[in-house]
Amino acid sequence: MKKTAFLFPGQGSQSVGMGLDFYEEFNFVKDLFEMASDICKINISKLCFKGPMEDLTATVNLQPSITTVNLSCLSAIEREGIKSCFSAGHSLGEYSALSAAGIVSKESALGLVFKRGELMHREATKYKGAMHAIVGLPIEEIEQIIADVKGKDVVSVANHNTKTQIVITGEPDAVVKVSTAASAKGAKSVPLKVSGAWHSELIRGAEKEFNECLESASFSKPVTSVIHNVTANISPDPSEIRILMGKQLCSPVKWFDSMCRLIDEQVEIFAEIGTGTVLTGLLKKILPKDYPCKIYAINSLKSYDNFIKEVK
């Protein structure tokens, strides 16, 4: 089989109805949704299939909901005997990647993301935050702008998504200052609909308690490699991976560097597993024009069937 990478989406990929066709088709997916609901004490199937969008998008609901859909799609693929050489997940999606690599169980991944969502929501209610996507400038220029204008304000890079698509996070006024300065240099700035300043110092208060949660979870030696958000690198050590997942909460997501690492590894098949097409969209902006590969977004039974037929 060709060298394959599984990519897992995070917050921002959600839609009402996500995962319904897999739920109706496979009994093991029904079991997974029931397990998620039992762990979180939330009706995950109702949220995913009926919404409303406002309730689904609430961080405490969204994190286990997206993870349940990701893991449902993954379970269907694993059932066909298809394995990846590498996995990566965008922020929240990294927990699905850990499960794909055999580092944490599906049950453990769901418990961790539910707690993560609870703690992030708690901190977001304490400290108002904002996030903007800035398109058109490289990371070095954004970091220089932040250094020039932030003063004592809290503002930093949250996600480095492509070479010139960077998400900033922090206190609302500081985020606007950076966006304004970036726009003056020719960049485009887009405010994101989020309830908190994710991957920033404003949610640092969640870190200690979440680390305690990570310590109580079982982490196994990876069966396949995960490219981690914090380092854009691979670790074979379960203890180090646990530490990285604790750091991930307030650290930038090095997605661009992670995808470049997969290119360096000469991955031939990229499969976005879960809801939406956010990651395949980013990947197409990162890949060199002459890079030989196939890209799949497995977010429906139809796309799943097509993927299975082509790669088996």
Q: Residue-wise pLDDT tens for the chain (312 aa)?
A: 799 999 999 999 999 999 999 999 999 999 999 999 999 999 999 999 999 999 999 999 999 999 999 999 999 999 999 999 999 999 999 999 999 999 999 999 999 999 999 999 999 999 999 999 999 999 999 999 999 998 999 999 999 999 999 999 999 999 999 999 999 999 999 999 998 999 999 999 999 999 999 999 999 999 999 999 999 999 999 999 999 999 999 999 999 999 999 999 999 999 999 999 999 999 999 999 999 999 999 999 999 999 999 998
Which helix (H) or strand (E) segment holds residue 271: the answer is strand 269-273
Looking at the domain that runs over 129-191, which CATH code has it been given? 3.30.70.250
Locate 227 and state its tokens.
Answer: 């490219």
Which CATH class, in words, describes the domain spanning 4-124+201-311? alpha beta
| C-alpha to C-alpha distances, 141 to 119, 124, 168, 224, 259, nearest whole angstrom | 32, 28, 13, 35, 21
Alpha carbons 144 and 139: distance in angstroms, whole number = 9
Q: Do domains 4-124+201-311 and 129-191 have the same CATH topology?
A: no
Predicted model pTM: 0.97
Catalytic residues: 91, 199
Rounded CA-CA distance 277/216 in Å is 33
- Alpha-carbon Rg for the chain, nearest whole angstrom, is 19
Domain boundaries defined on the chain: 4-124+201-311, 129-191
